[in-house]
Structure formats: C-alpha cells, structure tokens
C-alpha cells in the first residue's frame, strides 16, 4: 500500500490530522492497534480551548459539539471551603467549551467514514522503518498477515507508550520528566453537575475537582496517594471525602449517585525533544504529558496538529520546507508554556506528602492573591483558555 502520510494512532489527534490533510487533497492511512469500540470507551478530558474548537470547526466536525457542548466563560477556584470566580470573558473576552474527548473522537470517526478515510484497526506490531531516508515505510500485522505501507512521512500520534518516540535514537532524544507523588481518583455519575462551571478546590486534605460531561452526567476527582488502591474507595466514601474538600455551599447541594466508572490516574509532566526526526513527527502524548490540572493535554495535541497539518500541506502541495523544518521548535515553544502552567496549577492546588502547615498557608495565600488581583486572574485566564497557536 502507498500513501503520502502514515499516521500511527487513531485518537483525536491522529484522526483530526487525517481529516485536515484529506480536506487539502493529501492521502493518509491511520493505523490503530485497538478496536474502535475500545478507543471510544476511553474516558478522557472534557475542556476544549477555543483554538481547539475553531480547529474542529475547520475540520467540519463542529456541529454536534456546538449543539451538545457547554460554553464556559469562567471557572471557580476555592480554598478553605470557599470559592471565587475567574471571569474569562470579563478579563480577556474569551471562553472554553466543555465537550468530552470521547465525543470529539466519535465525531472525527464519523467524519473520516463519511469521506472514505482509511483507518485500519487492530493493527498489531506497528513499526516505522527508514525514517532517515527519502522512502520511509511502516509495517504492521493484521489477521496474522504482515503488511507494509510506503509513504512520504510518518506521524506518531500513538501516545506515551507507543512505538513512535521509541524510534528516535537515544543519542538524539532528550526527555524531561516530573512524576507527582499522587493521583486523581475519578468517578463518573449520572447526576446533575455540582455547579454550572468547573470548581478547582485546594484543601488541607488534598485537591478536588467538580466537572461535568452534560446536564445529567458529572465527573468528579479527588487527590489520592500515588499507590492508592481503587478497592479502598466505595462510592459513599468518595462522596463524603469530596464534600469535605469543596466549597461548603456546593457540598450542601451536591447530588450523589452510583458511579458508572471509577479509576485512578497518575500525574506526571513529561516533554520529549525533538518532536521531529527525519521523516517522523511526534504529536500529542507521544511527545508530551501534562497533569490534567490545567486542562491542557488534549489541547496541546490539537495545537501540534495545527502546526503539523499546515507544515505538511506546504511541503506536499507547494514544496515548501520551512514548516516541517521548524515544526519541533514551534510546537515545543507552546508545549513548554503549557507545561509550566499545568505544573503551577498542580503545585498550587495539591497537597504534597512532605507539605506542612507553612506550605498550606502559602497555597492559600496564593489563591487569596489571585482573588484580589486583576493582573493575577488575567494571567491565569490567558493560560487556561489557551495561548494563541
């Protein structure tokens, strides 16, 4: 098989890149090791920067997002069981969209199907070859038969554990990492959201987050130790602990119910450099991971797609090399800014194992400063809604 761009990974970034390139007349093949049902069963982020919203609109997949998503013009922060609002619209005239990553992926699959896009599921043993040559190719096995795809470029959208980043020689690749000593215990429940906007709560017992998927589906998180066992947490224990950490007025009106999904996610900051080697480009979690505190993971993948699809179109349609030559540098500049913001939000809102009463007071004072300072709230709003692509 021959294509112009072989994309490894059928998550939202791989599908979006395929969709945008297809619209420009560039052939792609997407390889995914899991079934479509598995991909669509993953519960992921739900806050979209407006730049991501506009990119999805450009790809022709914005209709259901606008019909079912929630436009948020602010968010709430709390400490000592009381909260205050960061007014995105009033401070910088911008907003975000709450729309689940699973739904974004579902919309993109539908769009690729409608355009006849080639997405090959259950592709095992995917391996790029010849990445430093002018004739790279990718091999994979399906139904016991090995296949080969010849291409001009390979794009790794296959996540942190995928093969793409591992294809870059260790003598070239540099990685930067901070693993946090806690995780997020999250539940999904068929209950109305606790509040019309997200609430990020600092508490001496640990962080908490109140989020939502729609009017009848809520997502909640509490900070737990990194080695915590899921079986230690009944639904009732989770709800009791959540109430202790969030603003008192919200806790009083919180509607609880059985969880329909429960999991613990570890937190880390990770960046790999460079994001391009030869004919290989890294996108999204293949190159960088951020803690979910700043709602940046999916959005960073989408900004990578923004830079890369323009670069590939310029190269394959107009024979211009500047975009692909500068892709890694351009993408990493935004990645590191988002990594800083996510690290800052995480350290401000979470309780660390060695943290004493002094450190807790510093966090509470940081939040009090945000509440009192227009400049500080503006800086937070600029980063939360997303820096320009």
Give the active site residue among 180, 200, 220, 307.
200
Spatial distance between the Cα atoms of 311 and 227, rounded to a whole number of angstroms: 42
Q: What 3-state class would DSSP assign to 240?
A: helix
Q: Which tokens is 310 given? A: 């323009």
- CA angle centred on 388, ends 207 and 303, rounded to 5°: 75
DSSP 189-239: ESS--SSSS-EEEE-TT--EEEEEEETTEEEEEEEEETT--GGG--HHHHH
Identified catalytic residue from 12, 22, 72, 247: 72
For 139-193, the DSSP string reads: EEEETTEEEEEE-SEEEE-S-TTSHHHHTS-TTT-EEEEEEEEEEEEEEEESS--
Angle ∠(255,75,351) on CA atoms, nearest 5: 80
With beta carbons less than 8 A apart as the criterion, state whether 5 and 151 touch: yes
180 is an active site residue: no
Distance CA 95, CA 8 (A): 32
Dihedral sign (CA 342, 345, 350, 352): positive
**Active site residue: 99, 140, 180, 384, which one?**
384
Which 3 state secondary structure label does DSSP give 123?
A: coil
The β-bridge partners of 272 are 175
Q: Is 200 a catalytic residue?
A: yes
- C-alpha dihedral over 273, 279, 282, 286, to 10 degrees? -90
Strand partners of residue 345: none
- Known catalytic membership, residue 153: no
What are the structure tokens assigned to 312, written together?
């590939």
From the candidates 195, 203, 296, 350, give the one annotated as an active-site residue.
296
For residue 292, indicate whether it is catalytic: yes
Beta bridge partners of 155: 7, 281
For the question of residue 296 being annotated catalytic, the response is: yes
Q: Which residues are catalytic?
A: 72, 200, 292, 296, 384
């Amino acid at each position: 098989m021959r294509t112009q761009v072989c994309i490894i990974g059928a998550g939202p970034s791989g599908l979006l890149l395929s969709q945008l390139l297809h619209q420009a007349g560039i052939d792609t093949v997407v390889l995914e090791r899991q079934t479509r049902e598995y991909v669509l069963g993953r519960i992921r982020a739900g806050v979209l920067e407006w730049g991501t919203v506009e990119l999805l609109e450009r790809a022709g997949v914005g209709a259901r997002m606008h019909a079912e998503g929630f436009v948020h013009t602010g968010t709430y922060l709390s400490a000592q069981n009381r909260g205050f609002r960061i007014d995105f619209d009033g401070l910088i005239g911008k907003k975000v969209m709450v729309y689940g990553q699973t739904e974004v992926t579902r919309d993109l699959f539908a769009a690729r199907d409608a355009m006849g896009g080639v997405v090959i599921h259950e592709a095992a043993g995917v391996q790029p070859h010849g990445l430093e040559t002018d004739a790279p190719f990718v091999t994979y096995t399906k139904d016991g038969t090995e296949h080969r795809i010849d291409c001009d470029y390979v794009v790794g959208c296959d996540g942190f554990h995928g093969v793409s980043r591992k294809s870059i020689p260790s003598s070239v690749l540099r990685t930067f990492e901070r693993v946090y000593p806690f995780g997020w215990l999250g539940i999904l429940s068929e209950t109305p959201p606790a509040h019309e906007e997200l609430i990020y709560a600092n508490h001496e017992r640990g962080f908490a987050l109140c989020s939502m998927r729609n009017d009848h589906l809520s997502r909640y998180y509490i900070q737990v130790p990194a080695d915590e066992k899921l079986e230690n947490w009944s639904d009732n224990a989770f709800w009791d602990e959540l109430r202790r950490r969030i603003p008192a007025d919200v806790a009083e009106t919180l509607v609880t119910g059985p969880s329909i999904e429960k999991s613990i996610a570890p937190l880390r900051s990770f960046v790999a450099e460079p994001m391009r080697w030869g004919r290989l480009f890294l996108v999204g979690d293949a190159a960088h991971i951020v803690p979910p505190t700043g709602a940046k993971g999916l959005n960073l993948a989408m900004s990578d797609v923004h830079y890369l699809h323009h670069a590939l179109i310029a190269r394959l349609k107009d024979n211009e090399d500047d975009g692909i030559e500068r892709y890694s540098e351009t993408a990493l500049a935004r990645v590191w800014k988002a990594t800083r913001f996510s690290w800052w939000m995480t350290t401000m809102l979470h309780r660390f194992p060695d943290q004493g009463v002094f450190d807790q007071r510093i966090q509470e004072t940081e939040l009090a400063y945000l509440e009192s300072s227009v400049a500080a709230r503006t800086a937070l709003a600029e980063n939360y809604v997303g820096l320009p692509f």
